[in-house]
Amino acid sequence: MEEQELIRKLNSVGKQIFVEYFFTFQSFANGQLSKENCIELLVSNRVSNENGAAIRCGNATLIFNTKMECRALEIVTESTRLPYNTVDNAQKIIDEYYG
C-alpha cells in the first residue's frame, strides 16, 4: 500500500478512532474477533452507526493486512490537529510494540 492510499484508509477509519480501537482492529484483522463483534463494539460505544462501523473495520483491516499499522501510527504522531492524548497513545503503542 502506498502512502497516499494509507492516508485515505486511515482517514476513513479516523485517526483518533484508529488509535483508541487499535487493539480491537488488530484482533479483527488477526481473525480473533468477528466482523459482527467489531461492528457491535463500535456501535455500542457510539463511535458510528452500523454502516460507518463496517467501513471503519474494513479499512482498518486493510491497514493491518498490508502491515502498515506502524506507519499509520506514525502519521497520527505527526498530526498537529489531534488531541495530545491521542498522539501520546499512538507513540506509546509504537514504543511498546514496534520500538
Tens digit of pLDDT for each residue in 7-42?
A: 999 999 999 999 999 999 999 999 999 999 999 999
Cell numbers describing residue 84? 495530545
Cα separation, 32 vs 9, in Å, equals: 22
Residue for grid cell 488477526: 30
Coil, strand or helix at 75? helix
> Quick one: pLDDT at residue 46?
98
Residue 92: pLDDT band by 50, 70, 90 thresholds?
very high
Count of H-run helices and E-run strands, the chain: 7, 0
Question: Among 67, 45, 57, which Cα is nearest to 18's?
Answer: 57
pLDDT averaged over the chain? 97
Over 90: is that where the pLDDT of 61 sits? Answer: yes
Cell numbers describing residue 69? 499499522
Residue type, 8: R
> Quick one: pLDDT at residue 99?
81
